[in-house]
């Protein structure tokens, strides 16, 4: 199959048209007419991930984040990691496709899948969006209910267990049970007010700043599980989709794509 045939399958699943205007999704690097050998799935297309693709004879990388996001002024070998990655991919005839906010905006996208990992039921979109060009339910984030109310420490332990977390940053405990929960995977401080307006007991996201923790004003728990930690599950979802729809291809999960944030 050609790159273009596989990207068409991906676009039907998570359409480019539903991505945010600021985003850079779809085929970012490569020739649409190239024949695909094997596929590597990753969160980020860094230089070592491209090396991994080369070593495993993968000439198509499906990435959640786009390797090219901001404007590039130059592409030279002494530039940053983005430019180095682009050069290496082009030199080795590797195509790179990014999904990013198509998955964020899809009603059954990245936040939805995380909600299923922690066992939420009766889910709905936290911030619905209207798209006249699509019949899909679109929007950012998910809200839903736990199977049963949990004490705050029980809820933290549930998150640690289901999401394989070592650390959780959170606002002041309120000594109330947690039942209704909202989620925005990735950087979600913009959705604090939406979550409070939905009367949730806890809002799960990442990349929160110091002053964000004051914004909940003792109305809900605000929980930062880490950017990588909130998104890491999506590699498995993408792989499962590809295996189902491309059964004749070898589809690998990147082992090089690890959390760039470390803790001492």
> Alpha-carbon distance 85 to 75, whole Å?
10
Average pLDDT over residues 98-118: 95
3-100+233-253 shares its CATH topology with 106-230: yes
User: Alpha-carbon distance 149 to 172, whole Å?
Assistant: 19
248: how many CB neighbours lie within 10 A of its CB?
5
93 is written with which tokens?
Answer: 């005839």
Q: Are 139 and 116 in contact (CB under 8 A)?
A: no
Where in the chain are the domains?
A: 3-100+233-253, 106-230
Global confidence as pTM: 0.92
The tens digit of pLDDT for each residue in 132-186 reads 666 788 999 999 999 999 999 999 999 999 999 999 999 999 999 999 999 999 9
pLDDT (tens digit per residue) in 16-70: 999 999 999 999 999 999 999 999 999 999 999 999 999 999 999 999 999 998 8
Provide the 10 A C-beta neighbour count for residue 167: 10
DSSP, collapsed to helix, strand or coil, labels residue 47 as helix
* Fold exhibited by the domain 106-230: 3.40.1390
β-strand 121-129 against 60-63: which pairing, if any? unpaired
**Which of the 8 DSSP states describes residue 36?**
P
Q: Which CATH architecture has domain 3-100+233-253?
A: 3-Layer(aba) Sandwich (3.40)
């Amino acid at each position: 199959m050609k790159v273009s045939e596989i990207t068409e399958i991906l676009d039907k699943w998570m359409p480019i048209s539903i991505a945010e205007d600021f985003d850079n999704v779809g085929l970012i690097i490569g020739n649409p007419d190239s024949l695909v050998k094997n596929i590597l799935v990753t969160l980020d297309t860094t230089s070592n991930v491209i090396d991994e693709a080369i070593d495993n004879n993968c000439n198509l990388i499906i990435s959640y984040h786009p390797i090219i996001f901001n404007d590039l002024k130059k592409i030279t070998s002494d530039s940053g990691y983005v430019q180095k990655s682009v050069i290496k991919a082009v030199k080795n005839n590797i195509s790179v496709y990014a999904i990013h906010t198509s998955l964020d905006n899809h009603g059954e996208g990245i936040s939805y899948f995380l909600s299923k990992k922690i066992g939420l039921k009766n889910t709905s979109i936290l911030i619905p969006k209207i798209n006249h060009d699509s019949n899909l339910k679109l929007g950012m984030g998910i809200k839903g209910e736990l199977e049963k109310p949990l004490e705050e420490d029980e809820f933290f332990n549930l998150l640690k267990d289901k999401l394989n977390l070592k650390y959780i940053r959170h606002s002041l405990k309120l000594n109330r049970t947690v039942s209704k929960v909202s989620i925005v995977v990735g950087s979600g401080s913009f959705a604090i007010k939406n979550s409070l307006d939905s009367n949730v007991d806890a809002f799960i996201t990442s990349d929160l700043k110091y002053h964000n923790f004051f914004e909940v004003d003792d109305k809900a728990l605000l929980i930062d599980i880490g950017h990588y930690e909130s998104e890491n599950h999506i590699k498995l979802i993408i792989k499962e989709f590809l295996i189902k729809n491309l059964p004749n291809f070898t589809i690998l999960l990147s082992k090089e794509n690890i959390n760039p944030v470390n803790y001492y």
